């Protein structure tokens, strides 16, 4: 009987934790981390301005950890218009180095590419 109660109680607790995490880190979060297919690399998105950083962690030491901007000159229009947390979102593509960034207010799309220094970029797809 105790085991049955525990099994019924567990899903309720898990649902509560998921609901709590959505309210704290949901769509209104200013910054979000997106995993890539490379286990050491994430993309950090400022959902308000469209700025993106390539974040790499390491277990080998500080020399191989870094955070660099993908779009230092930032072409995202939110810098000139209304800024709102949750405005931008990233979507992975079949190519592990490319994501599509969507402006969820205007519908503009951008190609985001992470990688070595010469391969990093952000280019607008729609105008």
Residue 116 falls inside a structural domain: yes
Does the structure show a pLDDT above 90 at 109? yes
Residue 6 falls inside a structural domain: no
State the pLDDT at residue 63.
78
| Boundaries of domain holding 58 | 29-124
Residue 97: how many other CB atoms lie within 10 Å: 16
Domain count, the chain: 1
Residue 111 falls inside a structural domain: yes
Average pLDDT over residues 17-33: 64
19 backbone dihedrals φ, ψ, rounded to 5°? -65, -40
What does the pLDDT look like over 53-100, one tens digit per residue?
Answer: 999 998 887 878 999 998 776 565 555 667 889 999 999 999 999 999
State the pLDDT at residue 32.
97
Cα separation, 54 vs 65, whole angstroms: 11
Query: What size, in residues, is the chain?
Result: 127
Residue 1 falls inside a structural domain: no
State the pTM of this model. 0.73
- CB contact at 8 A, 79 and 90: no
């Amino acid at each position: 009987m105790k085991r049955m109660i525990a099994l019924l109680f567990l899903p309720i607790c898990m649902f509560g934790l998921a609901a709590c995490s959505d309210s704290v880190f949901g769509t209104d979060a200013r910054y979000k981390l997106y995993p890539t297919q490379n286990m050491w690399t994430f993309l950090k998105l400022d959902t308000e301005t469209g700025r993106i950083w390539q974040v790499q962690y390491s277990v080998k030491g500080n020399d191989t950890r870094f955070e660099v901007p993908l779009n230092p000159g930032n072409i995202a229009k939110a810098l000139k218009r209304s800024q709102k947390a949750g405005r931008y979102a990233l979507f992975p593509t079949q190519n592990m180095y490319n994501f599509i960034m969507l402006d969820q207010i205007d519908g503009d799309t951008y190609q985001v590419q992470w990688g070595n220094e010469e391969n990093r970029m952000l280019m607008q797809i729609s105008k």
